[in-house]
């Protein structure tokens, strides 16, 4: 008898047949006696079409109108899902963002949820009615539709789960959970059954693009257990076969390392011989931020003769823009800019490494044994990332997966 928020992403509601299959899953949860709030994305492709219309009219369009346009995709799915549930004898109705209301701030295009009115929803849920809520949308104090940014339906789902004090937020997607590595590269990769919010954040931002980062942060802040599971498999959320993202203390058997992530889309830039004075980093990275270049790893070498080298990585597609911005807008003196656009970032993530020495060493030794050269190293409390030649990506991930004992027995 749990209260569950079940979110279905774009591929899980891609057409009428998939909406019907998603409705089957919800109906099974209702039959088992659970109260269910369903959050739906737009049918896959719809949001891109709508965003395209807006860009076609004007790249500088009014974001309030953009939100009015693009929010309609989820509105459509919500009505259809309510119909599909009713057809199965499940009492259901759609609740648009302004009907609940889900109040957001006024930052159109990437609004944040400020408050969700749950009184009427609780009443309806208690009476056995399923609430179907379009993801991605809310309403501002000015009564305008606002959207939460791309992938915002995950945030809608976790936000509703937090406001309703739900027992769990199930995120149905096109993978069956979070794995210890990409199964296409590591056939021996295992599904992770429980993982901490912190590890999930590191894995998510490193390329296991299963959950929107903001939704994991929101889950952590509000203590909402989030389960990632496949909408294309038979099991429903209550069977607990997916990956549960939860607090550290809920994870009994903590692995030293939870997973090996990789990102093959990295380019490295080294600005050679910049002055080693206060403020130089700001003068370097401010213009890049203004140009919307996403800087990832940053390493600064030890200064010699009052000059230093600054190395950082950007997505490969932003390399040209980054170099142009460095040359035109920083006003820095430097002796050279050196780029390498054929690198991959490999990361070892695990909350267990906080209390264990030797984790980094295992990584360096394993890579050395395979003659893989490390270009850059960067560490956090629960993550070690290295930059290597992209050609060695698969070899590195597979070797590390085995070295940390993650291979399925």
The verdict on 117 binding a copy of itself (CB under 8 A) reads no
| Half-sphere CA count of 246, side-chain side, radius 13 A | 17
CB distance 94 to 100 below 8 Å: no
List residues bridging with 275 in a β-sheet: 307
Contact flag: residue 106 with a copy of itself (CB under 8 A): no
Q: Does 207 bind a copy of itself (CB under 8 A)?
A: no
* Structure letter (DSSP) for residue 260: E
Least CB distance to a copy of itself at residue 314 (A): 31
Q: Applying CB under 8 A, which of residues 5, 14, 19, 228 lies at the interface with a copy of itself?
A: 19
Asked if 127 touches a copy of itself (CB under 8 A), the answer is no
> Considering the rule CB under 8 A, would residue 218 count as an interface residue with a copy of itself?
no
* Closest-CA residue to 152 (of 133, 134, 139, 136): 136
240 binds a copy of itself (CB under 8 A): no
Quote the CA–CA distance of 8 and 43 in Å, as a whole number: 10
Q: Specify the residue for token string 């050269």.
A: 373
As a whole number of angstroms, the distance between CA 243 and CA 168 comes to: 12
Which is closer to a copy of itself, CB of 87 or CB of 290?
Answer: 87
Site string for a copy of itself, 134-153 (x = CB under 8 A): ---------xxx--------
Q: 144 or 194: whose CB is closer to a copy of itself?
A: 144
* Strand 102-104 to 113-116 pairing: antiparallel
The Cα–Cα gap between 13 and 54 comes to 23
Q: Which of 87, 324, 354, 370 binds a copy of itself (CB under 8 A)?
A: 87
Residue 234 beta carbon to a copy of itself: minimum distance, rounded to whole angstroms: 22
Determine, following the binding rule CB under 8 A, whether residue 130 of this chain makes contact with a copy of itself: no
Closest approach of a copy of itself to the CB of residue 147, in Å: 11
Binds a copy of itself by CB under 8 A, chosen from 2, 21, 32, 72: 72
Query: Shortest Cβ distance from residue 64 to a copy of itself (Å)?
Result: 7
**Interface with a copy of itself includes 367 (CB under 8 A)?**
no
Comparing CB distances to a copy of itself, the nearer of 17 and 249 is 17
* Contact between 32 and a copy of itself per CB under 8 A: no
Residues 39-68 that bind a copy of itself (CB under 8 A): 50, 53-54, 56-58, 61-62, 64-68
Could you say whether residue 121 binds a copy of itself (CB under 8 A)?
Answer: no
Cβ(214)–Cβ(156) below 8 Å? no
Check residue 119 for interaction with a copy of itself (CB under 8 A).
no
Which residue from 234, 169, 168, 235 is spatially nearest to 9, judged by alpha carbons? 169
The distance of closest approach from Cβ of residue 137 to a copy of itself in the complex, given in angstroms and rounded to an integer, is 12
Q: Give me the DSSP letters along 183-214.
A: TTT-TT--B-SEEEHHHHHHHHHTT-TTS-HH
Q: Which two tokens stand for residue 244?
A: 């549960």
Closest by CA to 323, choosing from 347, 288, 355, 373, is 288
Cis ω before 186 (30° cut-off from 0)? no
Q: Dihedral sign, CA of 275, 281, 286, 288?
A: positive
Does residue 172 belong to the site contacting a copy of itself (CB under 8 A)?
no
Judged by the rule CB under 8 A, the positions of this chain that interact with a copy of itself are 16, 19-20, 50, 53-54, 56-58, 61-62, 64-69, 72-73, 75-76, 78-80, 82-84, 86-87, 93-94, 96, 98-99, 143-145
């Amino acid at each position: 008898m749990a209260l569950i928020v079940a979110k279905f992403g774009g591929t899980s509601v891609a057409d009428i047949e998939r909406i019907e299959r998603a409705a089957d899953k919800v109906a099974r949860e209702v039959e088992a006696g659970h109260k269910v709030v369903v959050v739906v994305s737009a049918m896959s492709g719809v949001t891109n079409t709508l965003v395209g219309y807006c860009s076609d009219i004007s790249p500088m369009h009014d974001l309030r109108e953009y939100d009015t346009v693009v929010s309609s995709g989820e509105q459509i799915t919500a009505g259809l899902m309510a119909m599909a549930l009713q057809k199965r004898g499940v009492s259901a109705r759609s609740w648009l963002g302004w009907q609940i209301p889900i109040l957001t701030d006024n930052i159109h295009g990437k609004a944040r949820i400020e408050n969700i009115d749950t009184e009427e929803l609780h009443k309806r849920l208690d009476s056995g009615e399923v609430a179907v809520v379009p993801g991605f949308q809310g309403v501002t104090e000015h009564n305008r539709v606002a959207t939460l940014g791309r992938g915002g339906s995950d945030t809608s789902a976790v936000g509703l789960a937090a406001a309703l004090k739900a027992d769990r937020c199930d995120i149905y997607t096109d993978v069956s959970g979070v794995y210890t590595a990409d199964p296409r590269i590591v056939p021996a990769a295992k599904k992770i059954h429980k993982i901490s919010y912190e590890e999930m954040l590191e894995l998510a931002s490193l390329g296991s693009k299963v959950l929107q980062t903001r939704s994991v942060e929101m889950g952590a802040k509000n203590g909402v257990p989030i389960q990632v599971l496949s909408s294309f498999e038979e099991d429903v959320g209550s069977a607990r076969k997916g990956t549960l993202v939860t607090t550290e203390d809920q994870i009994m058997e903590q692995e030293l390392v939870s997973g090996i992530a990789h990102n093959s889309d990295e380019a490295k830039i080294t600005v050679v011989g910049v002055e080693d004075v206060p403020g130089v980093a700001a003068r370097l990275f401010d213009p890049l931020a203004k140009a919307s270049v996403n800087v990832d790893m940053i390493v600064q070498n030890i200064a010699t003769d009052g000059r230093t080298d600054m190395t950082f990585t950007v997505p490969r597609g932003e390399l040209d823009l980054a170099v142009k911005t460095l040359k035109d807008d920083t006003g820095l003196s430097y002796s050279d800019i050196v780029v390498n656009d054929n690198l991959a970032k490999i990361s070892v993530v695990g909350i267990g490494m906080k209390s264990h020495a030797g984790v980094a060493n295992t990584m360096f030794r394993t890579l050395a044994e395979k003659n893989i050269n490390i270009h850059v190293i960067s560490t956090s409390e629960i993550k070690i990332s290295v930059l290597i030649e992209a050609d060695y990506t698969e070899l590195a991930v597979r070797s590390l997966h085995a070295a940390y004992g993650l291979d399925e027995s």
